[in-house]
Amino acid sequence: MRYVVLVKPPDDHPGFVRIMGTFDKREKAETLCQRIRDAVEEVDELSEDYAGYAYVLPVEPPRVRTALRWAMKGE
């Protein structure tokens, strides 16, 4: 299994994200994710208007049926 860190900007389009990675170990992805969150919180203390989010996600193998269900129904 591979992992990526997904970073979403504050007030942008809901589907707009940047993917950082890939990582072969979840711990490495979690470390980067936590560093990003810590940096955001440090800046956020100075300004209430700034916020960002970071998440760790597993990279799924390419499957058309899974992708189609996600694209059509969000499941």
* Alpha helices, H only, 1-75: 26-44, 64-73
Tell me if residue 2 falls in helix, strand or coil. strand
- The reported pLDDT for the residue numbered 9 is 80
Is the pLDDT at 11 greater than 80, yes or no? no
Q: Which residues contact 53 (CB under 8 A, 6 or more apart)?
A: 7, 8, 40
**What is the model's pLDDT at position 5?**
95
Categorize the per-residue pLDDT at 73 as very low, low, confident or very high, splitting at 50, 70 and 90. Answer: confident
Mapped onto helix, strand or coil, the DSSP state of residue 54 is: strand
pLDDT digits 0-9 by tens, 40-66: 888 766 566 656 688 999 998 888 998
DSSP 33: H
* Tokens (6 digits) for 53: 């989010």
In terms of pTM, does the model score above 0.75?
Answer: no
- Give the whole-angstrom CA distance, residue 47 versus residue 65: 43
- Tens of pLDDT, residues 14-43: 678 889 989 999 999 999 999 998 888 887
